[in-house]
Amino acid sequence: MKERALVNQWVEVEGQNFFAPFEAISLESFKAFYFKRPLDKQLITSNFEKLEKVFNVYEAQLSRNKYLAGDHYSIADLVHTPSLRRLKRVEVDAFAKWKHVTAWYEDIRSRPAFQKVLEWDSKWPFVKPE
């Protein structure tokens, strides 16, 4: 029960705190590419600032555990997979200053399921390759 509650908690953190700023950055990147206009740097900056707060929380959690909800990979980590990848493609150093977040991402990135995400994500031409 405790493990399930932790997983649910981190899924909610993703949905309530991580996804909205990530989506704003991703959508702005798409619009700038599609409409052939410069990025709205203020929108990008303000949403990266929101993500920094989230990554500070993730860094603290991941300094104590290998994954968000403990020492086992779970849906709490999985729900971040496409967003982390696309965020890295928009800004290569998106979370480089967080050592544990970076290690967590690299661990997730090495998983076979993530390779499937890479295949799907490669169809998005408007963002930089990692």
Which tens digit of pLDDT belongs to each residue from 89-105? 888 888 999 999 999 99
The 10s digit of each residue's pLDDT in 29-53 is 889 988 999 999 999 999 999 999 9
pLDDT score, position 126: 54
Confidence label for 2 from pLDDT (cuts 50, 70 and 90): confident
pLDDT score, position 86: 83
For residues 113 and 81, is the Cβ–Cβ distance under 8 A? Answer: yes
Q: What is the fold, at CATH topology level, of the domain defined by 2-121?
A: Glutathione S-transferase Yfyf (Class Pi); Chain A, domain 2 (1.20.1050)
Pick the closest to residue 64 from 92, 96, 104 (CA basis): 104
pLDDT score, position 123: 67
- pLDDT surpassing 60 at residue 1: yes
Q: Where are the domains of the chain?
A: 2-121
